[in-house]
Amino acid sequence: MIKLVSISFAIICFQQVPAQTNRQKDISAIRAARKASNEAIARHDIEATAKYWWDEFISIGGNGGSTIGRDSATVRYKRQFENTPGLTYIRTPKNIIISDADTLAFETGKWVGLKTKEIHPEWIGGNYSAMWWKRAGTWKLRSELFVSLQHY
């Protein structure tokens, strides 16, 4: 009986190792996508930024304005970059949780928006959350919510 319990326990433990390994790969992939997205925003490369959004992408900005759809979000970013040449956004993930089905992820962290080409540089920031959706092995953003908590 003890042998049967030991074997069952070992089987359960070994089955969880691949799931944890896959989750770590997914978390690494999302972190890499977030880093590349931040870099694209810093370059004002809208197409490189938008490649991390699904067509159904929804974004709620720090002060409550919203955009629905990848095309609308692209237009919003383009307008912001044209109106504020030194503008950049940096999102820093604190936590990423992968769903049991490995198709959704929940990211939370801190964000900051910087206006660097002003005479008096300004920044705004706060917390954010994001939903990542994996289709055909690719993680992209389904939605983001930013809440402005500091403004200097």
At 116, the pLDDT band (50, 70, 90 cuts) reads confident
At 18, the pLDDT band (50, 70, 90 cuts) reads low
Tokens 């206006």 belong to 115
* Beta carbons within 8 Å of 60's beta carbon, 6+ residues apart: 66, 143, 144, 145, 146
Mean pLDDT to the nearest integer, 7-27:
63
Per residue, what are the HEC states of 81-139? HHHCCCEEEEEEEEEEEECCCCCEEEEEEEEEEEECCCCCCEEEEEEEEEEEEEECCEE
Mean pLDDT to the nearest integer, 73-79:
94
Q: Is the dihedral of CA 104, 24, 111, 115 positive or negative?
A: negative
Which range, of 2-6, 51-55, 75-79, averages the lowest pLDDT?
A: 2-6
Whether residue 5 has pLDDT greater than 50: no
* Domain limits for position 33: 2-151
Whether residue 9 has pLDDT greater than 50: no
Mean pLDDT to the nearest integer, 112-141:
88
Residue type present at position 25: K
Whether residue 7 has pLDDT greater than 80: no
Measure the CA–CA gap between 138 and 56, rounded to whole angstroms.
Answer: 15
Residue 36's domain is classified under what CATH number? 3.10.450.50
First-last CA distance in the chain: 67
Q: How many domains does the chain contain in total?
A: 1
